[in-house]
A and B are shown apart, each in its own frame.
Chain A
């Protein structure tokens, strides 16, 4: 059964991601980074459950923990208009919050997330969406990378321009099928 430890681990993962950047843009981005980080072996997020949703792997737990982090003031949420008329949420770590110290990572975990974010933090959210979906499909349906990419692009035609970037990202993260 769920205890606070599970929430603590998920929160620590969110903090770890948000901590590596000045600002994280968008909830989809945070979800996909969370999933790719899990698949890269980051310890605290291993038990967070992801299921397949419209934009690929998505975790209710992660979304709930993010709401919790915003409600507690640990993470600041801002909303702004993006260039194409959409509202965009941005997330920033509040370094003054007492939980920042409490959720501090072990050195090894810190190193994992640092490496992970140095490869993936600049990726477009569509690249992350495609990369996360490809990994999800190949690991859950046990299909090859090539088949997974074709399948993912069939489901997400908007991601077609990001194919090369997504493949490079997966290679950079050493995520093999």
Chain B
């Protein structure tokens, strides 16, 4: 990407900027732990946030990464943190966008990788060609209009990945079950995790956890505990763990989009049925609302991020892709696609709930 930007913009890239950008790209997700998006929801984003953990790894004096960064170039630790945390910046630069934007290196990579790994073969956007037409404009990135077709296929692939993978009903059903497990463990942390266990430290200390402890919270140790919790004396905890193991996952109804009042009627009925079927269980974990905005992959978001710009031949300035006419492009459609929220409920009450919805004409 950097070579293409240098070639297409005609502006030489400073060696330090080049090295910083490559390092920031490599290190940008170092703060992720196992299931960290799920943990962010359970603990609250202000209590635990993987990006804040990345910044700690990059800047804290006792982090090995900080030492290595500072040894290679004084000030690098703080410079890299600016790539991750936008409010640390005093200025936006285009090189930040290589690490964090709608066209960042991570997204260009995961669109291809996730599609391949999930077996979605109808999309393989020609990312190489997109990259060869990328350049910088002011503080952002811009793509030559000749690669507009790749942007389209990339956004289409992202949209399909969103529907077929990230927001797939089974993925979300398993995720809400993991959330139910973790929130139960959080409520009984001293009983379910031994003292000195790093996962316990994370649940108790959240963002204040020592980095030495945090690096020990691994996927392997998480799965080990999950296996132990099958035997937990707490009925509610072992219930969810077993369901996860046996794939007896919650089922969903898509919420009526036309009236909130009807959606709440449905939710209240679900709570009533679940309460009667599972007395004593926490209703928040049995009946869960899952909205697309909780999925941690970003669809094309027009308003939150710097838009994608393309540059047409002879134009005096680049254009936002969503301003290109609908007749000529699928972009506006993909960019503004709406997904309905889902209400997940235990399979035991699903049929009763559906019958209620039909009777009351809620769906």
Contacts and interface: CB of A to CB of B under 8 A. Distances in A.
A2 B289 contact: yes
A159 to B, nearest CB: 12
B162 interface: no
Contacts of A63: 293, 301, 303-304
B179 interface: yes
Interface of A: 1-4, 6-8, 11, 27-28, 31, 49, 51-55, 58, 60-61, 63-64, 67-68, 70-73, 85-87, 98-99, 102-103, 136-137, 140-141, 151, 154-155
B338 interface: yes
B347 to A, nearest CB: 19
A67 B306 contact: no
Which of A28, A60, A99, A141 has the largest number of chain B CB atoms within 10 A?
A: A60
Q: Which 10 A-B pairs have the closest CB atoms?
A: A64-B293, A27-B303, A58-B304, A53-B304, A60-B293, A54-B306, A154-B90, A52-B87, A71-B338, A71-B257
Contacts of B301: 60, 63
B303 A55 contact: yes
Nearest to B302: A27
Contacts of A7: 260, 289, 291, 341
A155 B263 contact: no
B186 to A, nearest CB: 12
Contact of A103 (B91, B260, B292, B323): B260
25 contacts: A1-B183, A1-B284, A1-B285, A1-B289, A2-B291, A3-B284, A3-B289, A4-B267, A7-B260, A51-B45, A52-B87, A54-B86, A54-B304, A54-B305, A55-B303, A55-B304, A58-B303, A60-B293, A60-B301, A64-B293, A71-B257, A72-B260, A86-B323, A137-B87, A155-B91
B106 interface: no
B320 interface: yes
Contacts of A31: 303-304
A151 B179 contact: no
**Interface SS, A side:** helix
A158 B91 CA distance: 12
A1 B301 CA distance: 24
A85 B338 CA distance: 25
B259 interface: yes
Contact of A67 (B255, B294, B338): B338
B89 A68 contact: no
A176 B285 CA distance: 39
Contacts of A6: 289
Contact of B291 (A55, A64, A71): A64
A81 to B, nearest CB: 9
Given A137-B87, A155-B90, A68 B257 contact: yes
Contacts of A86: 320, 323
Interface residues of B, number: 43
B11 interface: no
A27 B45 CA distance: 24
B87 A60 contact: no
Given A3-B284, A27-B302, A51-B45, 4 more contacts: A4-B260, A52-B86, A63-B301, A70-B338
B288 interface: yes
B37 to A, nearest CB: 13
B289 A4 contact: yes
B248 interface: no
A152 B306 CA distance: 16
Contacts of A60: 293, 301, 304
B322 interface: yes
Interface string B321-339: 0110000000000001010
Nearest to A8: B260
Interface in B252-303: 255, 257-261, 263-264, 267, 284-285, 288-294, 301-303
Contact of B89 (A3, A70, A103, A155): A155
